[in-house]
Amino acid sequence: MRKNIFLLIILGVVVMIMSMMSKEFLRFSTLLESLRYAVEMGIMAVPMTMIIITTGIDLSVASTLALSGILMGIIWKYLNLNIWLAGLFAILIGSGCGLLNAYMITGLSIPPIVVTLATMAAYRGIATGLSKGRGITGFPESFQNFGQGSFMNFIPYSVFIWVIVALVGYVVLEKSKFGRYIYSIGHNETGAMFSAVPVVRVKNILYLFSGMMAGLSGMIYSARIGAAKSNAFMGGELEVITAVVLGGTSITGGEGSILGSTLGVLIITFLKTGLNLARVPHSVQSIIVGIVLVASIITYTRFGVGFFKKIKKGGV
Amino acid sequence: MRRLTIIFLMILVGILIFSADTIKIFMIPKFTGAPYFVATEKGAKKAVEELKALGLPIDFLYTGSSVANTEEEIRIISNLLEQNPDALIVSANDEDALVPVLKKAKQKGIVVVTYDADVSDPTARDYFVNQASFDAIGAVLIDLVAKNVKPDANIAIVSADPNAANQNRWIEAMKRRMKEKYPKMKLLTIKYGYDRPAESFQAAQDIINAYPNVDAIIAPTSVAFPMVAEAVVKAGLKGKIYVTGLATPNDMRKYVKMGVVQDVVLWNPVDLGYLSVYVANAAVRGMISKVDGTEYVCGGKLGLYKVYDELEGKKSVVLLGPPFIFTIDNIDQFNF
Amino acid sequence: MMKIKVENFGREFTLGIVLIVLVSFVQFINHSFISVRTLNVILENSAVILPSAIGTTLVIIAGQIDLSVGSIFAVSAITSAQLALKGVPMFLVILWSIGIGAILGFLNGIITVTFRIPAMIVTLASMTIWRGFILWWTKGYWITDLPDGWKALGSTRILNLTLPIWIAFSLGILMIFLVRNLRIFRYVYAVGSNRKAADLIGIARWKILLFILSLNGALAGFSGLLSGSRFFLIPSNIGTGLELSVIAAAVIGGTNIMGGRGRIEGTIIGVILMTTISSSLVFLNIDSTWDSAFKGLLILLAIIFDVLRKKLRRGESMG
């Protein structure tokens, strides 16, 4: 909880500094519009948070996004399926990718980072091979409007989906038995197994959920850019992980929250928006984002544990 | 000729009448981390200076992602729209993904000019400043091979990545040229180096080993071209395998002087940036003149340019000119 | 301490089989595959990332992950090239490449141990920071017109194999020897396999981590030089994505991602296998748009094959 208060403070500071640096920043329209480009990251951050809490990781999310988008496009175009049904299919494809990851992780006991590193290349590669690098375009107006339009010309439609996913994720993680299972696996997997936590099933569901959300994001992404592309969201997996880690989820497991990850996404998004508006070169932006990330986490450690006490002991 | 003079005078009169408000132009390249785009920036800034001296001040910003990244480019454009520029000059990382954000810009009344790399939907922008027609580039590359090797050469291509729209169109143009003029020329394979040095280098080495009958390798992208040349040197096949492609003279000078590469094809990127600013400026200030239903735009010291209603399936194209061939005789005259 | 399990012995064996099957298959389809030239290409392209892969292996054995190697690689390659351009003697440039890598690695290490943050997070940040730095530093330009001396390392041949191959693989053998015999590396294994035990026997974990992250930086820096010194031109995006390739090579080579287990021998074969896969796709004349798909699937197959072997072995010993 203390972390989230701290994150709110960082967010406040970012907004303050950025609104001093450019007069266009602190407007509802600017901030809401910039959220449109954070929706996919925000949605995928929800399962990623849960997975990282269990000490896992999913590096294949961005590739799953691309593959579901491409298959959605192919089905819509060549089978003449209704676009919304095809969108549903994208979510299914994503879930399938997630399930395959889950099978290899729990069924064959291969570490998640190894499995998803390989499927990251494989899923993206299949998307590229199927599309031959050409985008699938010409989606119906209503579908494109879902990604490009805004409610009352103000709030992007896709942001609502992000809010729903984040709320559901919050309830599941903080208020349900399933959420407690996730934390207990993260604290001590063997211990959890002995106290009758269905570890394998929880993990399977998490990786499936991650793929499903990547599929959903693939649909939103395709609607937003009006095309299904195999190079969609290239390198996005590390962006999602950065947001989650900035949001206070510990990669050693057992710690983290959906609120924190969401704040992490917001901080990065607003920071980049502000720096763009202040005309700061992109290379310098990368440096600033990196420093903010490491500085925030250093500050956590000082807030969280008796920092100086442990230093004296000399352990890490 | 007299007609051109009249148009030129009209533009001058226009300048005198309208010399007025500062306009805001943002230029967003594919990415800033390449000498090619630095050159377009140089040209653009020169145009801004000239226009300022003519009493047409421009608030000019050159910015973009430092590495090739479609998401960042979309985000940057979307953010910058909040500052209500009068015109955007954009080189698109992805021909489809940028369409919605550019359409949004047009809806806000912003003039959108694409340069270097266009978007797939012509309604998302006003003009496309094309460096050279796709067919011309494809033809020059294939003709060079036919002339310097033989008309029935076996060629291979090392390209950027499967999603690179420009490269794909150039490759299509090359295939067309082969079919029309050199039906015996054979394309053995296309490999992608993802515009990274190590990957492009290995791809070229593998092609040389896997296809002992390859006579020429074409690399239509500026990272792959020097790497292919290097691979040929390393295999000890200098002079045996002909290498050509698209890259800036500075990147290729060493290999041209070593005699590995005889011809480097490109256009002048400084001029490309320069012309793009002139087009954007003219479009904003209504200085594009119409004669007999055809639009003309003044390209500063480059002269007068016709706006093609349609060129190679693309609408409203301003063509910089034919591709240029750099050789050992002229490469030292260029610094970009 | 360094437990040598039977299944650890088996990993290089599995990979060897996968490699032999792959090579014979490709040779069967395309008869020009097995040749000195191809060997040179595969070994050299493996050699230039091998130092970094070895460093990554050690970091993983110590229970950490370093994502910044691609950026350190780039900083080293670019700054070394700039020094060479200024006429600095080549041996000083080589020292610089290792030194700057070590310094950047040390910075990662010092933050990791002082603030007790997992190295993965520190390096996630420093990866962005150094990549941003190099793009700011070069102002969009690439390093061109490098002097002939710069390429001396990459173009010298001994017994038909280029110098980077000899250097990197000698380094590999040296590291195998050092890891087996130096006490500090035994501590690295101890720290990675069981923190508490390591604390109990009085190993200062922070010293080990600092050492291993600095060493990794130095090796990544050296890789940057080896790779860059093959070209007359260094684009500023050099080394992009390297972190994931070397992690993949290490885990394919049998390094346990959870720490405590892994061998340099395995990583060497892992790197060679990855490079061979890339090359073989050209010889098989596969439509290049499918390259990444095949690469991912082959890596998956290699890993699954090894899992099945372990299961089989366990089954046999039980029955």
Look at B205 and C275 and tell me if their CB atoms are within 8 Å: no
Q: Nearest by CB to B78, from A33, A231, A281: name it.
A: A33
Q: Give me the domain span that covers residue B195.
A: 134-266
Same domain, B117 and B141: no
Helix (H) or strand (E) holding A166: helix A157-175
Nearest-CA distance from B150 to chain A in Å? 31
* Distance separating alpha carbons of residues A78 and A95, to the nearest angstrom: 22
CB contact under 8 A, B162 and A234: no
Q: Do A276 and B74 touch (CB under 8 A)?
A: no
- Tell me whether residues B96 and A24 touch, CB distance under 8 A: no
Q: Cα(A284)–Cα(A307) distance, rounded to whole angstroms? A: 31
* CATH number of the domain residue C231 falls in: 1.10.3470
Within a domain: A15: no
Q: Do C278 and B206 touch (CB under 8 A)?
A: yes
| DSSP summary character for residue C150 | G
Q: How far is A204 from chain B (nearest CA, A)?
A: 31
B126 and B145 inside one domain: no
State how far the Cα of B89 lies from the Cα of B127, in Å rounded to an integer.
Answer: 10
Amino acid C309: pLDDT: 76
Q: Both tokens of residue C289? A: 């748009």
Give the total number of structural domains in chain B.
Answer: 2
Q: Is C258 on the interface with A (CB under 8 A)?
A: yes
Task: Tell me which residue range forms the domain holding A155.
Answer: 2-6+28-304
For C21, the token pair is: 């099957």
Residue of B59, B79, B101 to mutate, testing the A interface (most A Cβ within 10 Å of its Cβ)? B79
Mean pLDDT across C122-151: 92
C293 and A125: CB-CB below 8 Å?
yes
- pLDDT value at residue C316: 53
The per-residue pLDDT for range A112-159, each reduced to its tens digit, is 999 999 999 999 999 999 998 888 999 999 999 999 988 888 899 999
Strands (E) located in chain C: 157-158, 161-162
Give every CB contact of residue C252 below 8 A, 6+ residues apart in sequence.
C15, C266, C270, C273, C274, C299, C302, C303
Please check whether residues B117 and B181 belong to one and the same domain: no
Would you tell me which residues 99-128 of chain C have a C-beta closer than 8 angstroms to some C-beta of chain A? 111-118, 120-122, 124-128
pLDDT value for A133? 84
Within a domain: B23: yes
With a CB cutoff of 8 Å and minimum separation 6, the contacts of C198 are: C187, C190, C191, C205
For CA atoms A19, A21, A24, A29, give the dihedral sign. negative
What residue has token string 């072997």?
A: C309
Average pLDDT over residues A224-243: 93
The answer as to whether C35 is a domain residue is yes
Q: What is the pLDDT of residues B109-148, one digit of tens each?
A: 999 999 999 999 999 999 999 999 999 999 999 999 999 9
Q: Which residues of C touch B198 (CB under 8 A)?
A: 45, 48-49, 227, 238
Tell me if A309 is assigned to some domain: no
d(CA C238, CA C241): 9
Which member of A118, A290, A293 has the closest CB to residue C300?
A: A118
Confirm whether B326 is domain-assigned.
no
The model's confidence at residue A99, banded by pLDDT at 50, 70 and 90, is very high
Tokens 């012995």 found at: C9
* DSSP 3-state of B170: helix
Q: What is the CATH number of the domain that holds A281?
A: 1.10.3470
Q: Do the chains contact at A283 and C251, CB–CB below 8 Å?
A: no
Same domain, yes or no, for B118 and B157?
no
Residues in chain C, overall count: 319
pLDDT of residue C319: 34
pLDDT in tens, A8-65: 989 999 999 999 988 888 888 889 999 999 999 999 999 999 999 999 999 999 999 9
E strand map for B93-185 = 111-115, 127-130, 154-159
| In a domain? residue A232 | yes
Identify the DSSP state of A104.
Answer: I
Contact A229/B163, CB-based, under 8 Å?
Answer: yes
Average pLDDT of chain B is 90
Q: Is B241 helix (H, G, I), strand (E, B) or coil?
A: strand
Question: How would residue B91 be classed by pLDDT, with cut points 50, 70 and 90?
Answer: very high
CATH at residue B177: 3.40.50.2300
Q: How confident is the model at residue A312 (pLDDT cuts 50, 70, 90)?
A: very low
Q: How far is CA A240 from the centre of its chain?
A: 4
Are A231 and B120 a contacting pair at CB < 8 A? no
Distance of residue C199 Cα from the nearest chain A Cα, in angstroms: 8
Whether A285 contacts A293, CB under 8 Å? no
Query: Is C1 within a domain?
Result: no
- The reply to whether the predicted model has a pTM over 0.95 is no
Q: Are B256 and B328 in contact (CB under 8 A)?
A: yes
Residues of B with CB under 8 A from a CB of A: 32-33, 61, 63-66, 69-72, 74-76, 78-80, 82-83, 94-100, 104, 120-121, 161-164, 168
Burial class (CB in 10 A: 0-12, 13-18, 19+), A80: exposed
Sign for the CA dihedral angle at B105, B107, B108, B111 comes to: positive
What backbone phi and psi angles, to 5 degrees, belong to C107? -60, -45
Distance, in Å, from the CA atom of B109 to the CA atom of B126, rounded to the nearest integer, reads 11
Cα distance between residue C75 and residue C78, in whole Å: 5
Q: What are phi and psi of B187, to 5 degrees?
A: -90, 115
Contact predicate C271/C50, CB 8 Å: yes
Once rounded to an integer, what is the mean pLDDT over residues B222-245? 92
Give the closest residue to A211 by CA, choosing from A70, A73, A39, A90. Answer: A90
Do B58 and B82 belong together in one domain? yes
Q: Is the pLDDT of residue B330 over 50?
A: yes
Pairing verdict, β B289-291 and B294-298? antiparallel
pLDDT, position B335: 86
Cβ of residue A276 closer than 8 Å to a chain B Cβ: yes
CA dist., res. B267 & res. B211, Å (int) = 31
Is residue A169 included in any domain, yes or no? Answer: yes
Q: What is the tens place of the pLDDT at every residue in B139-188?
A: 999 999 999 999 999 999 999 989 899 999 999 999 999 999 999 999 99
The mean pLDDT of chain C is 88
Residues 6+ apart with CB under 8 A from B107: none
Contact B83/A24, CB-based, under 8 Å?
yes
* pLDDT tier, C318 (very low <50, low <70, confident <90, very high otherwise): very low
Q: Assess if residue A315 is contained within a domain.
A: no
CB B324 within 8 A of CB B131: no
Co-location of B256 and B276 in the same domain: no
Tens digit of pLDDT for each residue in A277-302? Answer: 999 999 999 999 999 999 988 887 76
∠C160-C161-C167 over CA atoms, to 5°?
145
Does residue A260 surpass a pLDDT of 50? yes
User: Which among A111, A117, A286 is the nearest to C132, CB-wise?
Assistant: A286
Confidence of residue C193 (pLDDT cuts 50, 70, 90): confident
Residues B176 and B142: their CA atoms lie apart, in Å, by 10
Cα R_g (chain A), whole angstroms: 20
Among candidates A226, A230, A286 on the partner chain, residue whose Cβ is nearest the Cβ of B163: A230
CA distance C284 to chain A (A): 16
The rounded mean pLDDT for chain A is: 90
The answer on pLDDT for C53 being more than 90 is yes
* Other Cβ atoms within 10 Å of B224 Cβ, number: 33
Q: Looking at chain B, which runs of residues are DSSP E strands? A: 23-28, 58-62, 87-90, 111-115, 127-130, 154-159, 186-192, 216-219, 242-246, 261-266, 289-291, 294-298, 304-311, 314-319, 324-326
Residue A92 has a CB neighbour count (10 Å cut-off) of: 16
Task: Give me the pLDDT at residue A45, please.
Answer: 97
Kindly tell me if the per-residue pLDDT of C222 is higher than 50. yes
φ/ψ bin of B16: left (φ > 0), alpha (ψ from -120 to 50), beta (otherwise)? alpha
The verdict on a CB contact (< 8 Å) between B67 and C132 is: no
Distance from the Cα of A275 to chain B's closest Cα (Å) equals: 10
Domain presence at residue B208: yes
Residue C194: how many other CB atoms lie within 10 Å: 14
- Inter-chain residue contact A290 with C128, CB threshold 8 Å: yes
A153 inside 8 A of chain B by CB: no
Cβ-based burial of B36 (10 A; exposed 0-12, middle 13-18, buried ≥19): buried
pLDDT-derived band at C104, boundaries 50, 70, 90: very high
Distance CA A8, CA B282 (A): 47
pLDDT for residue C255 is more than 80: yes
In a domain, A312, yes or no: no
Q: Measure the CA–CA gap between C102 and C132, rounded to whole angstroms.
A: 19
Residue in B36, B186, B202 to test binding to C, most C beta-carbons within 10 Å? B202
Candidates C148, C47, C150; CA nearest to C91 is C150
- Number of structural domains, chain A? 1
Ranking A13-17, A74-78, B54-58, C301-305 by mean pLDDT, the lowest is C301-305
Residue B335 lies in a domain: no
- For residues B208 and B255, membership in a common domain is answered with yes
Give the nearest partner residue to A279 out of B61, B70, B163, using CB atoms.
Answer: B61
Alpha carbons within 13 angstroms on the beta-carbon side of residue B64 total: 27
Q: How many domains does chain C have?
A: 1
Using a CB–CB cutoff of 8 Å, tell me whether C204 touches chain A: yes
DSSP E strands in C81-210: the ranges are: 157-158, 161-162
- Using CA atoms, how far apart are residues A43 and A45, in angstroms rounded to an integer? 5
End residue of a domain, out of B222, B251, B266: B266
What is the average per-residue pLDDT within A74-83?
91
User: Which among B321, B277, B309 is positioned nearest to B44, based on CA atoms?
Assistant: B277
CB A121 to CB C295 under 8 A?
Answer: yes
Per-residue burial over C150-170, b if 16 or more Cβ lie within 10 Å, else e, is bbebbbeeeeebbbbbbbbbe
Q: Residue C315 carries which DSSP code?
A: H
Q: What is the pLDDT of residue C14?
A: 80
Chain A residue with Cα closest to C206: A316
Q: Which residue has the tokens 């050279």?
A: B132
In the chain, the amino acid numbered C193 is S
B3-49 per-position pLDDT tens digit = 666 666 666 656 555 556 899 999 999 999 899 999 999 999 999 99
SS3 labels along B72-100: HHHHHHHHHHCCCCCEEEECCCCCCCCHH
Q: Which residues contact C236 (CB under 8 A, 6 or more apart)?
A: B33, B34, C74, C78, C134, C135, C138, C140, C141, C142
Flag whether A283 is in a domain. Answer: yes
Range of the domain at C114: 6-313
- Chain-chain contact of A122 with C247 (C-beta, under 8 angstroms): no
pLDDT tens digit string along C148-182?
889 888 778 888 888 999 999 999 999 999 999 99
User: What's at C108, amino acid-wise?
Assistant: N
Nearest to residue A243, comparing CAs of A95, A61, A92? A61
pLDDT of residue C1: 43
- For residue C191, the model assigns a pLDDT of 87
Q: How far is A235 from chain B, CA to nearest CA, in Å?
A: 9
Instruction: Say whether pLDDT at B268 is over 80.
Output: yes
Tell me the residue length of chain A.
Answer: 316
Q: For residue C38, report the phi and psi dihedrals to the nearest 5 degrees.
A: -60, -40
What percent of chain A is predicted at pLDDT more than 90? Answer: 74
- What is the rounded CA–CA span in Å between residue C131 and residue B67? 10
Q: Are C32 and B209 a contacting pair at CB < 8 A? A: yes
Residue B292 located in a structural domain? yes
**DSSP strands (E only) in B131-182:** 154-159
